[in-house]
Structure 1
Amino acid sequence: MTNPKFNLTRRRGLQLAGATLLGSTVGLPAFAQEFPSDTISFICAFPAGSGADVLVRYFAQGVSEVAGVTVIVENKAGAAGNIAAEYTARADPDGYTVYVHAGSSTAMNYHLWTNPPIDPRTDLRGVAAINQQPFYIVVGADSPHQTIDDLIAYLREAGEDASYATSATSGRVLGAAFTNALGVSPVEVQYRTGPDALPDIMSLAVDFAVSDPVSTMINAREGRTRTLATGAGSRMQVAPDIPSLTESGLDIAQVGWWGAWVPAETPDDIVNRLNALFAEVLERQETQEFLASMGGDTWIATPAEVDAMMVQTVDEAEALVELADLPRN
Structure 2
Amino acid sequence: MPSIATRIVAASLVLGGAAAQAADYPDRPITFIVPQNAGGSNDIVGRIVAQKLAETLGGTIVVENRTGAGGNIGTQAAAKSTKDGYTLLMTISSSQAINPALYRAPGFDPVKDFIPVALVGTVPNVLVVNPDFPARNLADFLKLVKAEPGKHHYASAGNGTLNHLLGAMLNTTAGLDMPHVPYKGVAPAMIDVVGGRVPIAFASLPSVLSNLKSGKLIALGVSSPQRSPALPDVPAIAEQVPGYSGTLWVGLFAPRGIPAEVETKLKQNMVKVLADAATRKALETQGVELANATPEQFATLLDEDIARWAKIVQAAGAKVD
Shift in Å, 1:229? 0.7
Deviates more, 1:86-95 or 1:163-172: 86-95
Alignment CA distance shift 1:310-1:32 (3 Å) = farther
Task: State the Cα deviation string for residues 106-139 of structure 1 (Å, max 9, x = none).
Answer: 2211122212322102211100011211211112
Shift in Å, 1:147? 1.8
Matches within 5 A, 1:207-226: 207-226=199-218
Contact 1:216 1:227 in 2 (8 A): no
Shift in Å, 1:65? 0.6
Instruction: Identify unmatched segments of 5+ residues in structure 1.
Output: 1-12, 20-29
2:311 aligned with 1:319: yes
Matches within 5 A, 1:219-298: 219-266=211-258, 268-298=260-290
Task: State the Cα deviation string for residues 249-289 of structure 1 (Å, max 9, x = none).
Answer: 33221111111111223455433321221222222233223
Task: State the Cα deviation string for residues 56-84 of structure 1 (Å, max 9, x = none).
Answer: 33322211111112223344333322232
Instruction: Identify unmatched segments of 5+ residues in structure 2.
Output: 1-11
Aligned to 1:38: 27
Could you tell me the TM-score, scaled by structure 2's length? 0.84
Alignment CA distance shift 1:121-1:185 (3 Å) = same
Aligned partner letter, 2:317: D
2:128 to 111, 133, 138: 138
**SS class of match (1:111):** helix
Matches within 5 A, 1:45-194: 45-46=35-36, 49-51=38-40, 52-168=42-158, 169-194=161-186
Distance 2:315 2:47 in 1: 34
Contact 1:236 1:296 in 2 (8 A): no
**SS class of match (1:160):** coil
Distance 1:240 1:182 in 2: 23
Aligned to 2:302: 310
Deviates more, 1:288-297 or 1:198-207: 198-207
Alignment CA distance shift 1:15-1:68 (3 Å) = farther
Alignment CA distance shift 1:191-1:116 (3 Å) = closer
Could you tell me the TM-score, scaled by structure 1's length? 0.82
**SS class of match (2:107):** coil
